[in-house]
Structure 1
Amino acid sequence: MATTGLTGSTKTDLARVTETLEMIAPRWSAWVLMTLKAQPLRYTEVKQALPWLHDGQLHPRLSKLCDSGLVERNRYSSQHVTYGLTSRGTALIPVLRALRVWGDTYLEPGAFDPDGFTAHQQQVEDALVLLTPRHTTAILWALRVRDTASAKAVAAEAMPDYPLSAVYPPLDRLAADGLIEKEENTFTLSASGSGLAPVYTQLSAWAAGRPIAEARHHPVWAPAPGPAQYEGSSFATTRPEPATARRPAPSAPAARAQPVTWRSGEMFSDRIPARPVPTAAGPRR
């Protein structure tokens, strides 16, 4: 990541958060992590739980997550290999929950795809798509620090190694996505941009190896504004059930617990009560 004008520990913190987002952003990574949340599984069992992924998609994703230290591969014999979350992978689950809560609160309802892509998983995927383009996090952090800033000031803080003209495309994209607001040549965080506080604070704590409970003391993003808080948030939207039910996974071997098979609303163990849908339009998908 390019150096930024943000100073001291904030710069290091930002680099860690950006690296973490890049680690979990590739499509289906969050699905794999949630599938392994309950227990280690054999490759065939992971494939049964995510039947729409071909070997050419699933195997590279598992390998990448192993390389990242989020998943571990245990080989007991040539015929018995399992994949399970490491302690770091397990500690990342609350971060995925924070992404889901933010998506439920601020993203517009989206269509379900034919494979039964359910609401909560889709929210996590869409949130990552919005947050992972280059310079996004640096710009959002710069606006969080400065409150209101010109394009020149944002560029100096978030993209000091680039010409001023380079800051306009990401600013325009963030404004189109609804994460920032533009008035003439000044920019500020929108409600949905400010609502990312729980996501960024928990990402920061995880990336630094600190307990998630310390997230609320983040020097830039705490105290978290807006309705979305940490675990136990009561904010979610009531979503329609998918028009096409998810294909059931084949039965697991009798000797093992049946692998997780995702259904609508089952991405996380906690039940989310209904809330009114926000009146203001959220970021585009």
Structure 2
Amino acid sequence: MAITAPPPATPNDLLGVTKTLDLLAPRWSVWVLMTVSSQSLRYAEFKPRLPWLADGQLHPRLRHLTNASVIERTEYAPRHVTYGLTSRGAALLPVLTVIASWGDTYLEKELVANQHTGVAEPERIAPAQNIDDAVALLAPRHATPILWSLQARGTATAKTLATEAMPGYGLTAVYKPLERLVDDGLVTPSGTDGYQLTASGRALAPVFQAISAWATAPSPEADTHRPRELGGAPSRNRSGPWATTPTRLPAPAVPAAATARPALTTMPPPGPAWKSGDLFSHQIPARPISPAGGPLR
């Protein structure tokens, strides 16, 4: 089978995706971001909403998200400071919805007894937890470049992936991240030294597409005075199902749950604010669950 290199503009999209995942990756960052999605809050008002988060953990997350221009800090008086979403942060919420949907569909869930019927059924996971767990799979170094390369090629050898996704590294360096992606159920071996995406890996197409669209969209004029870590002018001549413009080739088929939303080939419009019930399922958990290991969570 002839192997062709990915389109030359693809790295622009890949860079935006990896930077956005780095933004979301620090633990509890997504929870903090979604907690202020419906209204601005004072520092002390975070505690009843995120009771497990220590004071020493909250401040670094707020600073991290503020530096990334998705949360803004407004000081009305020395002891009256609020934190709320910027327009850039509000535009990120529909992207989080796409990530949460993928996580709810593909991440492992334990069976628990329904308290009313006694019938075992998959546990309900908070959207913020699904996002956290999904990002934990995608954010490790080299994970997304490898997935991106496999999406463009369909099947690739370890040598090709090492050259394309990990330039400057030797061949042996690619096997550890590949093994992790195989263990997580996103990649599967195919033939002699070959690899390809699993169904759940292919279903990441709308996730990366939405992230790329957000990351490459120009910031609104209202946010231009803030320092920016992400985004910039949209790259041109993109192609491929994870890029921000339509591709000539059809994207891989994904379940209806992952595609029942507006097309992600353009910047998603800001959606409705997350409600606390959406953020925490039915009630605030005593503490979010920790990944239990095994494929996909």
TM-score normalized by structure 2? Answer: 0.72
Instruction: State the partner residue of 1:283.
Output: 295
Q: CA RMSD in A?
A: 3.0
Q: AA paired with 2:46?
A: V
Partner SS state of residue 185, structure 2 = coil
Q: Which amino acid aligns with 2:22?
A: E
How far, CA to CA, are the matches of 1:222 and 1:157 in structure 2? 23
Please list the CA deviations of residues 207-259 of structure 1 after superposition, one character each: whole Å capped at 9, or x if unmatched: 00169xx97735499635311115379xxxxxxxxxxxxxxxxxxxxxxxxx9
Matched, 1:199 2:207: yes
CA gap of 1:220–1:38, structure 2 versus 1, over 3 A, is farther
Give distance in 1, aligned partners of 2:198 and 2:95: 21
Deviating beyond 4 angstroms after TM superposition, the runs of 4 or more aligned structure 1 residues are: 218-222, 259-262
Is 1:166 the counterpart of 2:173? The answer is yes
Match of 2:245 among 209, 212, 217: 217
Query: Structure 1 residues 16 and 155, CA, compared in 2 at 3 Å: closer, same or farther?
Result: same
Residues 125-173 of structure 1 deviation map (CA, whole Å, 9 limit, x = unaligned):
1101100110001000100111011111111211121111111101111
Provide the residue aligned with 1:231 in structure 2: 261
Matched, 1:189 2:189: no
Q: 1:67-104: per-residue Cα shift (whole Å, max 9, x none)? A: 11110000001121100000111111111111111011
Question: Does the C-alpha gap of structure 1 residues 194 and 44 become closer, same or farther in structure 2, counting only changes over 3 Å?
Answer: same
Alignment partner of 1:264 is 2:272 = no
Distance 1:169 1:32, change over 3 A: same
Equivalent in the alignment of 1:139: 146
State which drifts further: 157-166 or 214-223: 214-223
Which amino acid counterpart does residue 211 of structure 2 have in structure 1?
A: L
Aligned AA for 2:281?
S
Q: 1:77 is aligned with what amino acid?
A: A
Partner of 1:238: none
1-structure distance, mates of 2:249, 2:135: 18
Q: Would you say the 8 A contact 1:98–1:230 is kept in 2?
A: no
Please say which of residues 185-194 and 117-126 is displaced more in the overlay: 117-126
1:121 aligned residue: 128
Identity of aligned residues (%): 49
Q: Are the equivalent residues in 1 in contact too, given 2:73–2:82 (CA < 8 A)?
A: yes
Report whether the alignment pairs 1:88 with 2:100. Answer: no
Cα distance in 2 for residues equivalent to 1:86 and 1:223: 32
* DSSP 3-state at the match of 1:83: strand
1:33 aligns with 2:33: yes
Q: Distance in 2 between matches of 1:45 and 1:130?
A: 31
Q: 5+ residue gaps in structure 2?
A: 113-123, 220-241, 264-274, 285-293
**CA distances 1:7-65 after superposition (whole Å, capped 9, x unpaired):** 52111111111011001111111111111011111111122211111110011111111
For normalisation by structure 1, the TM-score amounts to 0.75
Total equivalences in the alignment: 237
Match of 2:105 in 1: 105
Which moves more between the two structures, 189-198 or 151-160?
Answer: 151-160
Amino acid in structure 2 at the alignment position of 1:35: T
SS at match of 2:195: strand
In structure 2, C-alpha distance between the alignment counterparts of 1:111 and 1:51, rounded to whole Å: 26
Q: Is the 1:216–1:224 Cα contact (8 Å) retained in structure 2? A: no
In 1, the alpha carbon distance for the partners of 2:188 and 2:171 equals 19
Distance of 2:128 and 2:198 partners within structure 1: 24
CA change 1:266–1:18 in 2 (3 A) is farther
Q: Which amino acid aligns with 2:105?
A: T
